Amino acid sequence: MMSSRYRALCRYARKVTLSPSDIEEQDIEDMRDANFSDREIVDANGIIAYYNYANRVASGLGVGVAQDSRMGRVASRYSIDAGRYRDLWGPLLRPLSLRLFDFLPLAQAGRVLDLGSGVGLLLEDLDRAATLSATVAVDCSVGMLELVPRGHQRAAMDAHKLGVAAESFDVAVLAFMLFHSADAGSCLREVRRVLKPGGSVGVVTWGKDLIATVDEIVADELDVHGALRVSALGSYNIHDTPDKLAELLGAAGFTAVRSWAEGCDYWSDLHGFADARMSVGQFRIRLGTLTGQPRSLCIDAIHRRLSEAGARRPAICSDIVLGVGASPASRGLNRRPAQSSPHLTAPIG
Ligand SMILES: C[S@@+](CC[C@H](N)C(=O)[O-])C[C@H]1O[C@@H](n2cnc3c(N)ncnc32)[C@H](O)[C@@H]1O
């Protein structure tokens, strides 16, 4: 839960950033009341103003496109949530991702890319399925990569600008990561670039239904109860049906595209699922901006509405959408060298 001191600082930072001309003596008094010394207020102001300056210079010159800033936010939020992700969400998603494996030529693969690998929960499975292979975990979140079990190769990179030579991998797996991309088409084209001719890509992502229902209710009630807004880091609706995913894969130049939806009932109760959603990511942050009565009222309202939604539609499951495609066997693909990704680090494991 956010402390009152931290909340006061956030309020002040928000006002200095969004409406600096409205700052008045009372705002400074509010900071003093929250136990900030005058020296700390001056420091806070300097830091906030500096970031505003830097952001305006970058924005004014057209630097820092949305895709990059989305990736930065994804990376830092996952780094903060990495432990909870490994213990709670990862084990739930793993069996869903494994459904993709039968549709990929893993047994003959030499090198496999687990893109958006998170904490690497698929790596053992990939190693078992692909006996010949060297599997590389790539993720933009250093905090997630730090939890990848020892002995696996890993590297911090942005999926849109992989610091990897063209035609390096036989198979690429993108499990529950594409919805974070601000430009899924460019991410898939980059995957095609690093796949060998004839190499395969496999994608698994959320379909419509449960996620959308729960997220709508939670977001709605957080708004109603005055939680601060933070940007969402996912756009499920760009590939939440087999047709949409097939179109994206085809547009990125993959051939022999197949896509399909499967049901999954990986969570048996709507309320527990919503609590889990609120334990990580944007909902955890937003809920953290509420305390006391507004917080309890918000949580009560969410559960009330979930009960109604559950009664209307008792099935507690979601579709997942899976898709596979092949990199053309011969291609006039741009064979540019590996991009110097600003997020590339030397493999850390
Ligand atoms: C929901 S987690 C899935 C992790 C893993 N694939 C799994 O199934 O357990 C999404 C992961 O994608 C990563 N990710 C999102 N956007 C990325 C990008 N542009 N480049 C690299 N990794 C990205 C996140 O950091 C996060 O670890």
Do residues 131 and 182 both lie within one domain? yes
Q: Is 67 left (phi over 0), alpha (psi -120 to 50) or beta?
A: alpha
- Tokens describing residue 56: 């305006």
- Here the CATH number for the domain that contains residue 142 is 3.40.50.150
Closest ligand 1 atom, residue 78 Cα:
25
Q: Which residue, 60, 76, 96, sits at the end of a domain?
A: 60
What's the pLDDT score for residue 349? 34
The pLDDT of 53-82, averaged and rounded, is 75
Ligand 1 closest atom vs CA 89: 9
Shared domain for 34 and 105, answered yes or no, is no
CA of 78 to the centre of ligand 1 (A): 8
Does residue 336 surpass a pLDDT of 60? Answer: no
Question: Which residue has the CA at smallest separation from atom 25 of ligand 1?
Answer: 141
Q: Which one of 125-129, 206-210, 249-253 scores highest in mean pLDDT? A: 249-253
Residue nearest atom 9 of ligand 1, based on CA coordinates: 90
The amino acid at residue 111 is R
In this prediction, residue 341 carries a pLDDT of 41
Domain ranges, residue 13: 4-60
Least reliable range by pLDDT among 57-66, 179-188, 324-333: 57-66
**Could you tell me if 116 and 37 lie in one domain?**
no
CB of 133 within 6 A of ligand 1: the answer is no
Q: Which of 99, 139, 174, 320 to mutate to test the pocket of ligand 1 (most atoms within 8 A of CB)?
A: 139
Q: State whether 71 and 37 are in the same domain.
A: no
Q: Could you tell me if the CB of 121 is within 6 A of ligand 1?
A: yes
- Better-predicted residue by pLDDT, 64 or 41: 41
Report whether residue 144 contacts ligand 1, using a CB cutoff of 6 Å. Answer: yes
CB-ligand 1 contact for 254 (6 Å cutoff) = no
163/293 same-domain check:
yes
Residue 62 pLDDT: 56
Residue 226 and residue 92 share a domain: yes
Q: Are residues 56 and 155 in the same domain?
A: no
Tokens of 342: 């600003």
Q: Is 118 in the pocket of ligand 1 (CB under 6 A)?
A: yes
pTM score, whole prediction = 0.73
| Amino acid 219: pLDDT | 93
Residue 222, pLDDT score: 95
Instruction: Identify whether residues 186 and 265 lie together within a single domain.
Output: yes
Total domains in the chain come to 2
Cα gap 168→152, rounded to integer Å: 17
Specify whether the CB–CB gap between 194 and 168 falls below 8 A: yes
pLDDT value of position 98: 96
> Same domain, yes or no, for 27 and 82?
no
Q: Does 41 have pLDDT greater than 90?
A: yes
Please check whether residue 349 lies inside any domain of the structure: no
pLDDT (tens digit per residue) in 143-171: 999 999 999 999 999 999 999 999 999 99
Whether 77 is covered by a domain: the verdict is: yes
Residue identifier of the C-alpha nearest atom 13 of ligand 1: 116
Strand order in the sheet with 318-326: 153-156, 134-139, 111-115, 169-175, 195-209, 318-326, 255-264
The pLDDT value recorded for residue 333 is 46
Q: How many A from CA of 207 to the centre of ligand 1?
A: 17
Give the separation between CA 49 and CA 45, rounded to whole angstroms. 6
- State the pLDDT at residue 270: 79
**Per-residue pLDDT reduced to its tens digit, 169-181:** 999 999 999 999 9
Asked whether residue 342 is assigned to any structural domain, the reply reads no
Quick: pLDDT tens for 209-264: 666 678 889 999 999 999 998 877 777 778 888 999 999 999 999 999 999 998 87
Residue 335 lies in a domain: no
Ligand 1 within 6 A of CB of 100: no
Same domain, 29 and 77: no
- Summarised one tens digit per residue, pLDDT across range 291-322 is 999 999 999 999 999 888 775 554 445 678 99
Answer yes or no: is 332 within a domain: no
Q: What mean pLDDT value characterizes the chain? A: 86
Residue 56 lies in a domain: yes
Mean pLDDT of the 65-78 span: 76
130 CA to centre of ligand 1 in angstroms: 21
Taking 50 as the threshold, does the pLDDT of residue 265 lie above it? Answer: yes
113 found inside a domain: yes
**Of 14, 29, 60, the domain-final residue:** 60
Same domain, 218 and 112: yes
If asked whether residues 153 and 259 sit together in one domain, one would say yes
For residue 304, tell me if it sits in a domain: yes
> What number is the average pLDDT over the span 192-200?
97
Using the mean position of ligand 1's atoms as its centre, give its distance from the Cα of residue 44 in Å.
32
pLDDT over threshold 80, residue 343: no
Ligand 1 close to Cβ of residue 205 (< 6 A): no
Residue nearest to atom 8 of ligand 1 (CA): 175
